[in-house]
Amino acid sequence: MKTSFLRMCGLMLALVLGLGVVAVHAAENLDAVKARMKQRLSQVDELKASGAIGENNRGFLEVRGGGGDAANVVSAENRDREAVYAEIAKRAGSSAEQVGKARARQIAGASKPGVWLQREDGNWYKK
């Protein structure tokens, strides 16, 4: 009886410690994602200002006709946004899709004039 109790306590401790490591790892990863996004922000802003990329209605960037590095920047940014939306959704008990759509509305409201945005019906317009 004593052995099984000690074994069970050991398993519980390992589980708790393991979950703590996962939570710390997730926070570290999210910090890394945010750092990459911050580092990329000036490129994203320049591409939006030039009309090469736009903000879609799901909270992600889309190439609108820009060449060069636009596709690479969009791909990297969207990967990071996806990770952030997933984490926010997990914490809020929501879905990443709902978080992305809410973020798209925030981005549209805060965007500068001349930026390409996508309405909920899928049509694009310049703010």
Tens-digit pLDDT profile for residues 68-109: 789 999 999 999 999 999 999 999 999 999 999 999 999 999
Percent of residues, the chain, with pLDDT higher than 70? 76
| Phi-psi region at 118: left, alpha or beta (left = phi > 0; alpha = psi -120 to 50) | beta
| Phi-psi region at 114: left, alpha or beta (left = phi > 0; alpha = psi -120 to 50) | left
Comparison of pLDDT for 17 and 113, the residue scoring more: 113
Which residues have C-beta within 8 Å of that of residue 9, sequence separation ≥ 6? none
pTM of the model: 0.77
Please report where in the chains the tokens 């069970």 appear, as a residue. 8
Pick from 17, 29, 102: which is nearest to 59 by CA? Answer: 102
Pick from 42, 77, 47, 43: which is nearest to 59 by CA? Answer: 77
Question: Is residue 47 a contact partner of residue 53, using CB atoms and an 8 Å limit?
Answer: yes
In whole angstroms, give the CA distance from residue 31 to residue 33: 5
Helix (H, G, I), strand (E, B) or coil at 53: strand
Q: What is the pLDDT of residue 60?
A: 98
**Phi then psi dihedrals of residue 57, to 5 deg:** -85, 5
Comparison of pLDDT for 107 and 24, the residue scoring more: 107
Cα 47–chain centre separation: 19
